[in-house]
Amino acid sequence: MEGAGTLEVLISETAIRARVTELAAEITRDYAGRDVVLVCLLKGAVIFASDLARAIRLPVRLEFVRAASYGAGRVSSGEVRIEETDGIDRAALASAVAGGEVLVVEDIVDSGRTLGRILSHVQDLGARSAEVCTLLYKDRNVDHPFGVRYIGFRIEDRFVVGYGLDFAERYRNLPYVAVLEDRDLPGV
C-alpha cells in the first residue's frame, strides 16, 4: 500500500473506526426523529462521510459539494471556490438543503475558510439548520465565526494525509491518518 511503513501514523484505523461509531451515535441521538442531509465536501471527506453515513441510524440523504482552496500545495491559497460537480448536482443540492437539517461533513478544519464559505452557501439555500461534522480539527487557536459541533480528533498543526486527505491527490486511500513530513516528499 502506498506509504505504508514510511509515514508516521497519527491516528490508527482502529481509532478512526471507534470514533466514527461514537460520532454517528451522537448524531443519531441529537437528530432523533428527523431526517439528516449530509453535505459531503469533495474530495477529502468522501471516505469519512461514507463510513459516517452507514453508522447513522436515521434516514440520511447524501449530497456533495466541491470546494477548492489548496491546489497541489500544503499551504492554503486563501481563496475558496465552491464548485458543484455539474448542473444536476446544483439543483439536487438546492432542493435537499432547502428546509433541511444539514450536516456538513468535512475532512479537516484548518483555517476554517472553506467551512465558512460552505456554511453561508447552505444558509443561502434555506437550510433549517446547519451544523458541521469534521474528522479532524487543527488546533491553531483560530477563532472561527461558526461552531464546529462534531469533531473527531483535535490535532496539532501538522500536514496530514490518509482516510481521504491528500497531498497532490495522493494518499487518500490510506486507511489511517499519517503525518507527511518534508522528507516524505519526492524532490523536496
Which residue ranges make up the site for ligand IMP (CB under 6 A)?
41, 44, 69-70, 76, 106-114, 159-161, 165
How far apart CA 131 and CA 147 sit, in angstroms, is 8
Query: Sign of the C-alpha dihedral, residues 97, 102, 105, 110?
Result: positive
> Is 110 labeled as catalytic in the residue annotation?
yes
How far apart CA 60 and CA 17 sit, in angstroms, is 19
168, containing H or E segment:
none
Instruction: With contacts defined by CB under 5 A, name the span among 64-72, 89-97, 156-164, 171-179 that binds Mg ion.
Output: 64-72
How far apart CA 63 and CA 39 sit, in angstroms, is 5
Among residues 57 and 81, whose Cβ is nearest to Mg ion?
81
Which of ligand IMP, Mg ion, none lies near 107, with the C-beta cut-off 5 to 8 A by kind?
Answer: ligand IMP
Among residues 101 and 107, whose Cβ is nearest to ligand IMP?
107
Point out the catalytic residue in the list 35, 86, 107, 110.
110
- For the bound state, the minimum distance from the C-beta of residue 69 to ligand IMP, rounded and expressed in Å, comes to 5
Which of Mg ion, ligand IMP, none lies near 134, with the C-beta cut-off 5 to 8 A by kind?
Answer: none
Q: What angle do CA 138, 178, 115 make, to 5 degrees?
A: 35
Which of ligand IMP, Mg ion, none lies near 69, with the C-beta cut-off 5 to 8 A by kind?
Answer: ligand IMP
Which of Mg ion, ligand IMP, none lies near 114, with the C-beta cut-off 5 to 8 A by kind?
Answer: ligand IMP
Nearest to 84 by CA among 122, 54, 50, 48: 122
- For the bound state, the minimum distance from the C-beta of residue 164 to ligand IMP, rounded and expressed in Å, comes to 9
Nearest to 122 by CA among 164, 85, 82, 88: 82
What residues line the site for Mg ion (CB under 5 A)? 44, 70
Catalytic site residues? 110
